[in-house]
Amino acid sequence: MARELGAVNWRGLWTLYAKEVRRFLNVSTQTILAPVVTSLLFLAIFTLALGRTIPSLGSVSFAEFLAPGLIMMAILQNSFANTSSSLVISKIQGNIVDLLMPPLSPSELTLGLASGGLSRGLIVGLSVGLGMWVFIPIGLYDPVFVVFHAVNASLMLALLGMVGGIWAEKFDHIAAVTNFVITPMSFLSGTFYSIERLPGNWQLIALLNPFFYLIDGFRYGFIGHADGSLWVGALVVLTVNAGLWTLVHRMISTGYHLKP
Amino acid sequence: MEPNPSLAPRSFGRLNGRGVWTLIYRDLRRYWKYGVESIGGPIVSSLLFLAVFVLALGGQGEAGGGLTFVQFVAPGIVMFALMHSGFFNGAAPLVHDKHEGMIQDVLSAPLNAFEVAAGYGLSATLNALVTGVAVLAAMTPFVDLPFGQPLVALLFAVAGAALFGLTGVLIGLWADKWDHYSAAESFLILPLGVLSGAFFPLDSLPALARTLILFNPAFHVIDGVRYGLTGYAAWSPAASLAVLLIADLALAWLVWRLIAIGYKIKP
């Protein structure tokens, strides 16, 4: 007799999530420590190179302005890397069938994989934040915004990583998406500067970049200053995530680039 | 009976030139095969760095020596890309060959340790130079560089490409898996490349750090290339060149000896 799983296969979902988390904890030197070191290096060069020339924003020093942006950038890159690499490796090595065969629905697969990426983003973000806190003062202005944007950023990039991972046939494709889409979007999103410093057209382009709202809202949670509208930002972020979730769900249920 | 000359062992002379060239050529082709990532990737990320400095931070400020900040930082960005490419192109072929077992093809070919070292080292150097030139070419429309002494810049670029290419080969020999490669990249190459004066002038550092940075070979590479391109050097270019040549020779010797004893490549 077939086993009865109920409305949600909780055990299956948990197993998938645990696998995704163990995957990156197993190589935590690369997946957690390396982003901490990289972010600290960025903090060092930008404060050394530009700390003198950049006027501080009110009572906030350049380093305090920069730190939330760098934490967010680490979150973005790592949540994307987690889900995309997991899917591409599974596809190349053929063990993707181990995901498709078990009694897991497309919703459960989406939730399980995305939560793995979400956890990586949050753990990396917290570690980078703690690493920076050793060197510079990091104050909290509104923790609600910090948590809201950290969670949504991790989720957005975890979902984007799934779109990329499902679409990609090999590692080169993911490297190309990272190099030519994710890195440019995260660099040009106000990580390193206030977009008020940008010339007119570039400011407009920045406002069309969803990553801008993630960084802007996240930074507001630390320093209490935002370049854009916080409510527009929250709305954009939630809409993008809902859209991406639907897309990923659709890709998995139709078996796009997953099933023969 | 006369021995059949076609069955006699082939004689290669002092250096198996064709063998070395074949080894180099194989890795040049590998590089081109992934041209979008090997050249396009560094160009995009370098231009992004430049964009962040120029667009947003008003990079027209002074950086010492009469240079604007952008003129100062552009050679640093180019050399950062070149050195990273040297490391990648030195290490990745070896890690890959070891991982896939193809290293046997290289070891059983009539190449001695010196020739194998030369093959891996020179291909990494050449690939790094191609990356560096491509990034520099992509950057020139946006930055006004005087190109005062292009040959001096090239000399330093070659020394830097060899330095990081050989370091890559060394890491490639040592690494048992890709995790080791990534660890070396994150914890050795990135810190050396970033804390090298590529992105900030020396006088923004505290005194102790200004002394310590002289022990970072990447500093000498960048300072020398910047001298060739802009005429401004923070330290003596001749002394920097001497440091680099000594480091290059020492690394080349080490790589050669490690291959000769079969360190992590022979059972």
Per mean pLDDT, which of A63-72, B5-14, B177-186, B241-250 is the most reliable? B241-250
Q: What are phi and psi of B111, to 5 degrees?
A: -125, 130
Contact A45, B194 (CB under 8 A): yes
Burial of A225 (0-12, 13-18, 19+ CB in 10 A): middle
What count of other Cβ atoms lies within 10 Å of the Cβ of residue B55?
A: 15
> CA A247 to CA A253: how far, in whole Å?
10
The tokens describing B217, both together, are 């070979």
Please give the single-letter amino acid code of residue B174: W
Chain-wide mean pLDDT for chain A?
A: 91
What's the pLDDT at A3? 72
User: What is the pLDDT, as a whole number, of residue A76?
Assistant: 96
Residue of A nearest to B73 (CA): A49
Q: Which residue of B has its CA nearest to A173?
A: B37
Taking CB atoms and an 8 Å cutoff, what residues of chain B touch A200? none
Give the C-alpha separation, A81 to A164, whole Å: 10
Q: What is the pLDDT of residue B2?
A: 65
* Nearest-neighbour CA in chain A from B15: distance (Å): 37
Q: Which of A72-81, A201-210, B94-103, B179-188 has the lowest mean pLDDT?
A: A201-210
Contact A251, A163 (CB under 8 A): yes
Q: B41 to chain A: which residues are within 8 Å by CB?
A: 175, 179-180
Hey, where are the domains in chain B? 15-261
Which residue(s) pair with B68 in the sheet?
Answer: B62
CB contacts of B48 in chain A (<8 Å) are 183-184, 187-188
Q: What is the pLDDT of residue A1?
A: 62
Summarize pLDDT for B27-38 with one digit per residue, the tens.
999 999 888 888
Residue of B nearest to A38 (CA): B186
Please check the confidence at residue A168 and state whether its pLDDT lies above 90: yes
pLDDT band at A54 (very low <50, low <70, confident <90, very high): low
How far apart CA A211 and CA A77 sit, in angstroms, is: 11
Residues of A in contact with B52 (CB under 8 A): 187-188, 192-193
Reported as a single tens digit per residue, the pLDDT across A17-27 is: 999 999 999 99
How high is the pLDDT of residue B261? 94
Does position B59 have pLDDT exceeding 60, yes or no?
A: no
Q: Which of B189, B191, B164 is nearest to B89 (CA)?
A: B164
- Biggest CA–CA distance in chain B, Å, is 84
Q: Measure the CA–CA gap between B59 and A246, rounded to whole angstroms.
A: 42
**Residue B244 in tokens:** 């680099």
Q: What is the spatial distance between Cα B233 and Cα B219, in angstroms, rounded to a whole number?
A: 11
Please tell me which residue of chain B has the smallest CA distance to A196: B56
Average pLDDT over chain B, rounded to an integer: 90
What value does the mean pLDDT take over residues A122-148? 94
Cα distance between residue A213 and residue A232, in whole Å: 8
Least confident of A72-86, A125-139, A188-202, A222-236: A188-202
Q: Which residues of chain B neighbour A52 with C-beta distances below 8 Å?
A: 204
CA distance B136 to B153: 12
pLDDT given for residue A182 in this prediction: 93
Intra-chain end-to-end CA distance of chain B, in Å: 41
Angle between helices B69-100 and B217-230 (to 10 degrees): 130
- Whether residue A58 is predicted with pLDDT greater than 80 in this model: the reply is no
Chain B, 154-183: which have a CB under 8 Å from a chain A CB?
179, 182-183
Q: Which amino acid is at A97?
A: V
Alpha carbon distance, N-terminus to C-terminus of chain A: 29
3-state secondary structure of B68: strand
A237 pLDDT more than 80:
yes
Residue B259 pLDDT:
95
Say if CB B160 and CB B86 are below 8 A apart.
yes
Distance CA B245, CA B251 (A): 10
